[in-house]
Chain A
Amino acid sequence: MAEASQAPCNRCQENPGTLDLRGAERVCPQCFCTYVGNKTIKRMEQMQRETRNSGSKLPTRPQRYLLALSCGGASSTALLNLLHDNLARQQAPQPAKGTKGGKGGGQRVRFEIVVAWVDCDLSRPPPVSFSADGETADTETRPETEADAAWQRYKARYPTFTFHRIPLSSAPSLRTNSIDWSSLPPLKEGLTPHEQLADLLYTRLATPSSRADVQRLLVRHLLMDAARREGCDVLLLGTNTTALAELTLAETAKGRGFSLPWQVNDGPFQLPSFASYLSPSSQGQNQDQQAPSEDTKATESDIANSKANNQLSIYHPLRELFRSELQTYITLTTPPLTDLLPASITSPAAAAVAVVSHKDLSIDEVMSRYFAEVEVNYPSVVANVVRTTGKLERPGAGAAAAEEPKEGETTTGTSRSRQRQCGLCGIVLDEAGDARWRGELGEQAPEVEERRGKLCYGCGRSMNG
């Protein structure tokens, strides 16, 4: 970088331009961070316009966002920091002198942040006092892991935010009942929820692809559930451009082309609501460990309200930033955000990707490897994939409106309930499409007991394939 440092930053013309920005400019670290911040805040402003219009909420109340943190993930860590900085600027009494852009200070605070991390570590049980609401009271009872330490560092660095750590194993006790457990292999009796989940993912599901897929969907449900419970207006995911492109092609490869617009695009998501998994007999046992305590924000009437309008907005504010840009960003803040991440992630050993057999790769991993390469050479192609998906219409959303009421149906309520949703991913089922496909391939409809829930094509593949 010695020779590059001679040229001044393209933007501020003051500091040396040490960083490449999209192959078009050389900028200084300060301007690079501003660029990343602007790209994010612009999406946030767009989101605020969209969600305020559609919601019936009072416009004066600050919006509440649930920020999905992947403990150690560069992108979501970057998003956390960007929103923290943005909030700090809104709260600042006076604009700091020399602040560029004029904005900042003395503003109305526009949002509050709740941070949630779904802990997917099933190799050991969660702390004893673990509740679905997340606070770990004592870590003494078990040795601290890298992730535990990282989690503590996050909390220490952002003391003004509320943090929730949600164990993956609390998925069966979701309040929103957005998963139809009868559509999945039955959870093994007589195990702790934690062991049940481990059994489901590692014993019942045959391949790494299925495991990664189901886990991703469970995490999504837990986040949506936490967002509802915390009374949040929007769930913010830290998925960047590269990750969204990966998601697009990975879901295409899993047979979920139909649900792409729901998964990749921003906007409201209609949460399904199925019968509770917890049967009376098992309820007591589960409640001991993870039924949410009663002092959570949501009351029973809130739940009833939310059922009437079981919608949650999901947005990806980093959708216009590449993974590599966020990885650069986290090294540039003071102090660097890389300090927060578990050592194993930032160590050089982790950077060198081990070559593993194809058998042990998941479809998601195949895609990340592919796009890691494409991002370096053809970043615009990556961005274009995401833009292209953005043009697809959401099935169901339009169909529900276009569908004529049949058989004397008049209320929108019944016609909505007629739109069956997949028991796992929650996307509107494409039953006619499934029947046609089976017809074309000459396959039999899977023999499903009448009382069992239905899965979409892609989720069915993950269960059986």
Chain B
Amino acid sequence: MAPALCAVCKTERALIKRPKNHQKLCKGCFTQIFEDEVHHTILSSSLFYPGEKIAIGASGGKDSTVLASVLKTLNERHKYGLDLVLLSIDEGIKGYRDDSLETVKRNAAQYDMPLKIVGYDELYGWTMDQVVETIGKKGNCTYCGVFRRQALDRGAKMLGIKHVVTGHNADDVAETVLMNLLRGDLARLSRATSIVTGSNASDVKRSKPLKYAYEKEIVLYAHHKRLDYFSTECIYSPEAFRGSARTLIKSLERVRPSAILDVVRSGEDMARLVPGQNQDACACKANTSPAPVAAEEDNGSGCGSANGRSTGGEMAAMEKQLKENEKAAEEKLETEIAIPKPNEKGSRPKPEKESKASSTTVPIMKQKLGSCERCGYMSSQKLCQACMLLEGLNKNRPEIQI
């Protein structure tokens, strides 16, 4: 059998089977197409404006390293006129973050970009190692996730930057869609799919230029471009829901490669069907950029590093909670929260235990954004999530203060 030729240039030997659609490509055409697709995403979503200062949320992992590399390439090739800066968060996890930060430092030199590192200890007075020491491994991802989102914002503010790009890829978004379906969180589901997040209430907007890029293609790109990245997973336990969703996404990808993008598409569409959302099919009027949505918790809680190593703790906890709710509903211990339907119901005595499933529509609360009383970060509550978590942590540590 003669070696297959690249489906695009028809001259080079095809060395890569594109994970996204199984197209056979040569190395050069693959990197070109990968970059072109990211370029297209950037243009079609009007992500940047000329002269904009952009902070790249850099962890040293494959996604953010590829993002930095691609953005540098595209910025030069297409003359975006962007001022690119690497922004890293030091969670304070020994044996994980200290090593990956070394990678970021090398990247900064390789890509000739300035690097800013912000530590949890200086922002919150707690390193993740200390948090885990206090609360244990269970649930620590919640802290880390909440802290990191704010940390990126604060770091950007320190640099006078109003736009942070992150390396979230299509697999991450698809995973988040399934995860939020599994936990029944429509509000998050509808936020997670937007390419741009961060509302007007916040000074810093977020975007995910790799939103449509497959994780496998990111790995391939990093490999063929010989990028220097750090591939150890976080040492602390991941969330069960995300792990479960990730396993599912991987199975789906094996059965039908387009499934990842199809989940993303479904997620975007479902976001429009959440009661109270704009049902207009086209949120972006031709050329205007998509309306940014609130960035708060836009990617669920946690860092997405779970590779199916799930402990089940979170799912079990939710199962328990749901069971209790069901029991309460059966026994009528709770007040009915379903909105009574307008049509007549009362002519004859109702069977007790009115079912409150499917047909009754409960409006999804839309969050109103204000700002945290303590730190000024945007929040729908009096205190932002980080300050709430900190309050709990600090109660257990009255002596030590920063």
Interface segment among A113-121, A227-235, A298-306, A376-384: the answer is A376-384
Is B266 a contact partner of A380 (Cβ separation < 8 A)? no
The CA-CA distance from A386 to B355 in the complex, in Å, is 14
State whether A377 and B319 are in contact (beta carbons under 8 Å apart), knowing that A46-B355, A266-B358, A461-B262 are contacts in the complex.
yes
Q: Which residues from A are CB-within-8-Å of B258?
A: 255, 461, 465
State whether A388 and B181 are in contact (beta carbons under 8 Å apart), knowing that A258-B273, A370-B251, A381-B318 are contacts in the complex.
yes
Residue in chain B with minimal CB distance to A45: B351
State whether A388 and B184 are in contact (beta carbons under 8 Å apart), knowing that A257-B265, A363-B252, A432-B281 are contacts in the complex.
yes
Q: Pick the residue among A208, A252, A254 that contacts B181 (CB under 8 A).
A: A252
User: A128 at interface (Cβ–Cβ under 8 A)?
Assistant: no
Q: Which residues from A are CB-within-8-Å of B186?
A: 388, 391-392
The CA-CA distance from A380 to B355 in the complex, in Å, is 16
Chain A min CB distance to B70 (Å) = 15
Is A393 a contact partner of B275 (Cβ separation < 8 A)? yes
User: A14 at interface (Cβ–Cβ under 8 A)?
Assistant: no
Interface segment among B48-56, B97-105, B320-328: the answer is B320-328
Is B256 a contact partner of A363 (Cβ separation < 8 A)? yes
User: B178 at interface (Cβ–Cβ under 8 A)?
Assistant: yes
Is A209 a contact partner of B269 (Cβ separation < 8 A)? no
The listed residue with most B CB atoms (<10 A of its CB), out of A363, A399, A435, is: A363
Q: Pick the residue among B274, B281, B322, B361 that contacts A381 (CB under 8 A).
A: B322
Is A320 a contact partner of B212 (Cβ separation < 8 A)? no
The CA-CA distance from A437 to B193 in the complex, in Å, is 13
State whether A385 and B182 are in contact (beta carbons under 8 Å apart), knowing that A50-B359, A255-B262, A258-B266 are contacts in the complex.
yes
Q: Which residues from A are CB-within-8-Å of B261?
A: 255, 441
The CA-CA distance from A402 to B279 in the complex, in Å, is 10
Chain B min CB distance to A153 (Å) = 33
Q: Which residues from B are CB-within-8-Å of A380?
A: 318-319, 322-323, 326
A contact patch SS: helix
Residue in chain B with minimal CB distance to A387: B357
Is A363 a contact partner of B259 (Cβ separation < 8 A)? yes
Q: Which residues from A are CB-within-8-Å of B262?
A: 252-255, 457-458, 461
Is B279 a contact partner of A398 (Cβ separation < 8 A)? yes
State whether A433 and B281 are in contact (beta carbons under 8 Å apart), knowing that A320-B357, A441-B212 are contacts in the complex.
yes
The CA-CA distance from A437 to B269 in the complex, in Å, is 10
Is A377 a contact partner of B318 (Cβ separation < 8 A)? no
Is A440 a contact partner of B269 (Cβ separation < 8 A)? no
Chain B min CB distance to A379 (Å) = 7
Chain A min CB distance to B334 (Å) = 15
Q: Pick the residue among B177, B274, B322, B351 that contacts A383 (CB under 8 A).
A: B322
Interfacial residues of chain B within 135-169, with CB under 8 A of chain A in the complex:
none
B contact patch SS: helix
Is B259 a contact partner of A395 (Cβ separation < 8 A)? no
The CA-CA distance from A395 to B280 in the complex, in Å, is 10
Count A-B pairs with CB separation below 8 Å: 195
User: B263 at interface (Cβ–Cβ under 8 A)?
Assistant: yes
User: B284 at interface (Cβ–Cβ under 8 A)?
Assistant: yes
User: B1 at interface (Cβ–Cβ under 8 A)?
Assistant: no
State whether A440 and B44 are in contact (beta carbons under 8 Å apart), knowing that A381-B318, A381-B322, A392-B274 are contacts in the complex.
yes
State whether A265 and B358 are in contact (beta carbons under 8 Å apart), knowing that A363-B256, A387-B184 are contacts in the complex.
yes
Residue in chain B with minimal CB distance to A257: B266
User: A75 at interface (Cβ–Cβ under 8 A)?
Assistant: no
Is B355 a contact partner of A385 (Cβ separation < 8 A)? no
Interface range on chain B (Cβ under 8 Å from partner): 35 or more
State whether A395 and B355 are in contact (beta carbons under 8 Å apart), knowing that A252-B267, A436-B281 are contacts in the complex.
no
Q: Pick the residue among B244, B256, B322, B359 that contacts A209 (CB under 8 A).
A: B256
The CA-CA distance from A386 to B322 in the complex, in Å, is 13
Residue in chain B with minimal CB distance to A384: B184
Is B315 a contact partner of A381 (Cβ separation < 8 A)? yes
Is B273 a contact partner of A395 (Cβ separation < 8 A)? yes
Is A370 a contact partner of B248 (Cβ separation < 8 A)? yes
User: A23 at interface (Cβ–Cβ under 8 A)?
Assistant: yes
User: B40 at interface (Cβ–Cβ under 8 A)?
Assistant: yes
The CA-CA distance from A377 to B283 in the complex, in Å, is 39
User: A418 at interface (Cβ–Cβ under 8 A)?
Assistant: no
Residue in chain A with minimal CB distance to B320: A380
Q: Which residues from A are CB-within-8-Å of B263?
A: 252-253, 255
Question: What per-residue 1/0 map shows which CB atoms of A315-333 lie under 8 Å from chain B?
Answer: 0000110000000000000
The CA-CA distance from A441 to B186 in the complex, in Å, is 25
Question: What per-residue 1/0 map shows which CB atoms of B272-311 lie under 8 Å from chain A?
Answer: 1111000111111000000000000000000000000000
Chain B min CB distance to A356 (Å) = 11
**Nearest 9 A/B pairs, CB to CB:** A257-B266, A432-B281, A380-B322, A255-B262, A390-B358, A258-B269, A388-B184, A442-B40, A257-B270
Taking beta carbons and an 8 Å cutoff, which residues of A are in contact with B?
22-24, 42-43, 45-46, 49-50, 53, 207-209, 248-249, 251-258, 260-261, 265-267, 319-320, 358-359, 361-363, 366, 370, 374, 377-381, 383-395, 398-399, 402, 430-433, 435-437, 439-442, 457-458, 461, 465
* Listed A/B pairs (20) with beta-carbon separation below 8 Å: A50-B359, A255-B258, A258-B266, A319-B357, A358-B251, A363-B256, A366-B251, A381-B318, A388-B184, A388-B186, A390-B358, A391-B361, A391-B364, A392-B186, A393-B275, A431-B281, A433-B269, A436-B281, A436-B282, A436-B283
Taking beta carbons and an 8 Å cutoff, which residues of B are in contact with A?
36-37, 40-41, 44-45, 177-178, 181-186, 195, 212, 244, 248, 251-252, 254-256, 258-259, 261-263, 265-270, 272-275, 279-284, 312, 315-316, 318-319, 322-323, 326-327, 343, 345, 351, 353, 355, 357-359, 361-362, 364
